[in-house]
Amino acid sequence: MKLILGDNQFFGVNHADLKKAAMTRELFSTHTLISDFIKKSLSIGLDGFMINSNDLGFKVVEGFDFKNQNVECHYSIPYPHKYAGMVNDSGMIALISLVLKQLRFRDVFTVLKFALSYNVVHLLPIIVRMEIPKSLPKGSIVYLQNVVTDLTMGLKNGDKILSAYINSVKSMGYKPGLITLNPANLIDALKNRHSEDEVYLCFNINYSGFNVFPSISKVEKAITDAKDATNWKLMGMSVFSSGSRGISIKDSIQYIKSLRLDYVVFGSSKLSNIEKNINQFNE
């Protein structure tokens, strides 16, 4: 099981304590501070890091020295608040306008396909490209954020759009990833079409069932289904229940280790906590 550094502490996210989230955000106010923390975390035994494509995250990846380190970068797109604000302000057409402003000469056929069909799926490669820094090493994993994955999956033909996302990311030389809070639904929707693909699936799972949807037992069954039927790599997130449920770290880790997960992502603003967790995962 590989261990990946999460990014919530960098961007002021704590699913159980908003005040703590705001305090930790202060510690990581620049991309240099974030990069330094990532490097230190890697030096004590983590296998890679996950980071979102918001302004700071984009700069972290742009400036990161991937050549001299054996590190996995798990990059998540998009930064949903940027687009939510745009849709609120100017409607859905504003999104399409933004995409069309990013066109390159080689996109002419893609745009023609879109113009003739009005099918937004044709614009997916451009949309994905907009979010990825050029310096992101090929072979890195590019995840779709859970709010976009789950919103899309709930819609008619949502599975086809997610499938097109997987194919777009693959065609760019990256590995496709999906973050979801509904892993059982997602595995059901895509496992047949993409069983041979190396799709990375990241979802909540923890001993107490905190924010595990719809239930621990159904997610455990989904893990087994996916591992039996696909080549997918599974990543557990929120594995310590955001520290909210009085479950010890030891019990949390024992539970996670009992599952057929390939990766675990967790974060902390303290290197000492990360080191303790690494040691317990390696026991």
Partner 1 sequence: MAVEKIVIIGWGRMGITHTSIINGLYPGSFEFTLVEPNSKVSKMTQKTLGYSVVSDINEINVQDAVVLITTPPSIHSLLCDNVLSGGARSVFVEKPFGLFDKRVQDDSRISVGYVLRFSEVAQKLKELISEEGCLKISLDYSSHTLTKPPKGWRNSAYGGVLNEMGSHLIDLMLYLGGGQEFKVISSSIQSVISDVDDIVSVKGLLGDIEVELSLNWVNPDYRKPVWSGFLETSKQSIRFDQQSLDGGFESDSVDYYVRGRDFSLQMKHFIENDKSIICNSKQANSVHDVITKIKEKA
d(CA 190, CA 199): 10
d(CA 54, CA 62): 12
Structure tokens at 31: 């991309």
Q: Based on the shown chain and the rule CB under 8 A, indicate whether residue 260 belongs to the binding site for partner 1.
A: no
Q: Based on the shown chain and the rule CB under 8 A, indicate whether residue 118 belongs to the binding site for partner 1.
A: yes
Q: Which is nearer to partner 1, 71 or 212 (CB)?
A: 212
For residue 70, the minimal CB distance to partner 1 (Å) is 31
First to last CA, the chain: 12
Q: Which is nearer to partner 1, 116 or 196 (CB)?
A: 116
Q: Which is nearer to partner 1, 89 or 283 (CB)?
A: 89
Q: Based on the shown chain and the rule CB under 8 A, indicate whether residue 248 belongs to the binding site for partner 1.
A: no
Nearest alpha-carbon partner for 125 in 145, 102, 152, 148: 102
User: From the list 30, 44, 63, 91, which residue makes contact with partner 1 (rule: CB under 8 A)?
Assistant: 91
Contact 10, 38 (CB under 8 A): no
Q: Interaction with partner 1 in 156-175: which residues (CB under 8 A)?
A: 156-158, 161
The region of 29-37, 65-73, 148-156, 191-199 touching partner 1 under the rule CB under 8 A is 148-156
d(CA 222, CA 236): 12
Q: Based on the shown chain and the rule CB under 8 A, indicate whether residue 11 belongs to the binding site for partner 1.
A: yes
Question: Which ranges of 78-215 would DSSP assign to H, the alpha helix?
Answer: 80-90, 93-101, 108-117, 124-131, 146-153, 158-171, 183-190
Residues within the interface to partner 1 (CB under 8 A): 11-13, 15-18, 22, 25, 81, 84-85, 87-93, 96, 117-121, 147, 150-158, 161, 181-182, 185, 210-211, 213-215, 244
